[in-house]
Amino acid sequence: MSIRLVKPRITAEAQDVTIPVMPNIASILKAEISRVARKEVRNETAALKKAVSAYRGDIAQLKRHVKELEAKLSRLGNSSPKKPTGLVLEDSAEGFRFSAKGLASHRKRLNLSAADCGLLLGASDQSVYKWEDGKVRPRAKHLPAIAALRTLTKKSAADLVKSLRQTA
């Protein structure tokens, strides 16, 4: 028996037929690995994105809390007396009537500058000027010190100013 090789005949009809190409296993494997890797990375980053969002919310809440505490601190800082007064304050300054001319005359009698008088009263020199001009009235916390100013002598006022300047 002999085997005879025959060449296949290609007709016009057979030329339109496409032969499927065998896929390359390496490219399929590479595509599948990259798909699975993207899926894993997506899962990991989703958890991280959730955590970042929570952290941002916590940071914003902490910033609001800090701002609130700073506002409270500034209110407390403004309400406390700025400087200690050098005069012995009497709690009973109820009968004391404030007079702008009287304050100016006592300050001149004691030979005090507005800054020194303010140091004794626990106020600024500008406050003393405004009180003397009658533009504003002193607050209630300053009235006992103003009343105590009447009882001072030049020497005692000078000694008090000197001691207050040394401590400040």
User: In this predicted model, what pLDDT tens digit does every residue of 113-123 receive, in sequence order?
Assistant: 988 899 888 89
- Is 90 exceeded by the pLDDT of residue 12? no
Boundaries of every domain in the chain: 25-80, 100-167
- Is 70 exceeded by the pLDDT of residue 19? no
pLDDT of residue 95: 67
> Please, where are the H alpha helices in the chain?
25-79, 100-109, 114-121, 125-133, 143-149, 154-167
Distances (CA, A) of 153 to 26, 96, 124, 143: 106, 19, 22, 19
Taking only the tens place, the pLDDT of each residue in 44-98 is 899 899 999 999 999 999 999 999 999 988 888 776 555 555 565 555 556 678 8
Estimate to the nearest angstrom the gap between the alpha carbon of 89 and the chain centroid: 37
Taking only the tens place, the pLDDT of each residue in 146-158 is 888 888 888 888 8
Estimate to the nearest angstrom the gap between the alpha carbon of 90 and the chain centroid: 40
Please compute the mean of the pLDDT values over residues 20-45 and round it to a whole number.
Answer: 87
The pTM assigned to this predicted structure is: 0.46
Phi-psi region of 135 (alpha: psi -120 to 50; beta: other; left: phi over 0): alpha
With cut-offs at 50, 70 and 90, classify the pLDDT of residue 15: low
- Are the beta carbons of 107 and 146 closer than 8 angstroms? no
> Mean pLDDT in the chain?
82
How many CA atoms lie within 13 Å of 72's alpha carbon, on the beta-carbon side?
6
Distances (CA, A) of 93 to 43, 87, 140, 146: 75, 13, 9, 9
Which residues does 65 contact at the CB level (< 8 Å), separation at least 6? none
How many CA atoms lie within 13 Å of 143's alpha carbon, on the beta-carbon side?
13
Return the CATH number of the domain spanning residue range 100-167: 1.10.260.40
